Amino acid sequence: MLSSSFRRGTGVVGRHLSQQYRCMGTAKSFHIDTPENTVETKFDFTEENYERVKKILGKYPTNYKQSGIIPLLDLAQRQHGGWLPVAAMDKVAQIVEAAPTRVYEVASFYTMFNRTKVGKYFIQLCGTTPCMICGSEDIKRTIEDHLGIQNGQTTPDGMFTLLEVECLGACANAPMIQMNDDYYECLTPETTIQLLEKCKANDVPVMGKWGSLPMNGQVSCEGPLGKTSLTWKEPVPAAVAVDRFKDGTVDPSTVKKHMAY
């Protein structure tokens, strides 16, 4: 059962707001019924993802299953094509043995969760000051003109959704977008169009060594002279003793007791 505050969108308010907009990082905190997203909609994890559910819950004490709400919502969103129907939130609540309202609170608080359908390529355009100064408005106009959509809209073929958001933490390589999980940085109108066309052809550029892709050819945040500092070799991680659990596994729920908490 949806909480009264979360289901407001099914009433008068909901009839006038047919789509969620999260312009500049804000989101509606209530649910809006759509034909594909009602309390009667069915959702369940696949067998493969149920194995992942077990691994996620295995990281927490059995009496703290609710600690797994965020990773389980993320898993559900990925399975469901990048967005969370109410039924998926209800399934997570059932698994962690929490009231559904607790899960709705999490899903409506974090902007990483999309509670309305998004396109195959979900473009989040940073519009905060550094990106704005470096040309994010030009990038926004380029995307809107090239795809024929406005901020908060999805193309008719379901391929692209555009949303302007707050800072994504890549200020050194502004302007930039986050598309699904990946960062595309140092954009110009020309490279933005190239990126969109590659996505249309299902030929998405591969991320660089450091997990992002500056579209001007540079490596990560390096300047035109390349890497000029911190030039030592990458540190080698410390070795972990393979027999550290030789006497049996550790039950996290007993840690407080052994530490006299």
Sheet strands (E) in the chain: 121-126, 160-165, 177-179, 182-185, 212-214
- β-bridge pairing 121-126 and 177-179: antiparallel
pTM value is: 0.74
| 163 DSSP 8-state letter | E
Nearest to 190 by CA among 146, 149, 154: 146
- Tokens 């410390």 belong to 238
pLDDT at position 19 = 45
Residue pair 53/60 in contact by the 8 Å Cβ criterion:
no
252 Rama sector, left if φ>0, alpha if ψ -120 to 50, beta otherwise: alpha
| Integer CA distances (angstroms), 87 to 51, 92, 181, in order | 20, 9, 24
- Is residue 183 helix, strand or coil? strand
Residue pair 63/110 in contact by the 8 Å Cβ criterion:
no
- How do the pLDDT tens digits run along the chain, 261 residues long? 555 445 444 433 333 334 444 444 445 666 777 778 877 789 999 999 999 999 999 999 989 999 999 999 999 999 999 999 999 999 999 999 999 999 999 999 998 999 999 999 999 999 999 999 999 999 999 999 999 999 999 999 999 999 999 999 999 999 999 999 999 999 999 999 999 999 999 999 999 888 899 999 888 888 777 778 877 777 777 776 677 666 766 666 666 665 555
- Under 8 Å CB-to-CB from 111, ≥6 apart: which residues? 22, 25, 27, 165
Q: Identity (one letter) of the amino acid at 243? A: D
| 77 DSSP 8-state letter | H
